[in-house]
Amino acid sequence: MILTTTNSIEHHKIVDYCGIVTGVSMKMRDLSAFAGKEKQSLQMEEALNELKEQAFKKLLTNAKGLGANAVVGIHIDFEPIGTGYYFGVSVTGTAVKVAT
C-alpha cells in the first residue's frame, strides 16, 4: 500500500477514487505518576507515537476494505480531548487505486 501526503504519486496513475478513509485512536494517559517534566515529555511522545501507529493501521484497514492500493492526501491531527489527559490522533486521506 502506498501512503503519501501529496495528492498524486509520482510515476503512478490514479485510475479510481474509492473514497475518504480515516483512522482514529484515543487514549487516556495519566502523566502525573512520572516525576519531572522531561520524563512526562518522553511519556507523552511515546503515547502519541503509539496512537499514531494505531490510527495508521485503522486507515490501512479501511482503505483495503474499499479495494484501494494507495492513500493520497494524508493529513494527521493530534488533539487533546477535554480537560484531562485524553489524547486523540486522527489520520485522514483519500483511498485510491493506482495502475501497477
The pTM assigned to this predicted structure is 0.82
Q: What angle do CA 4, 92, 6 make, to 5 degrees?
A: 25
The boundaries of the domain holding residue 62 are 2-98
* Per-residue model confidence (pLDDT) at position 33: 54
**For residue 63, what are the contacts with CB-CB under 8 A and spacing of at least 6?**
1, 18, 21, 70, 71, 93, 95
Q: Span 66-84, mean pLDDT?
A: 88
- 46: CATH: 3.30.110.70
What are 83's three cell numbers?
480537560
Q: Number of folded domains in the chain?
A: 1
Indicate whether 87 pLDDT > 90.
Answer: no
Q: List, for residues 41-53, the tens digit of each pLDDT value.
A: 677 778 788 889 9
Q: Which of 80, 46, 74 is nearest to 60 (CA)?
A: 74
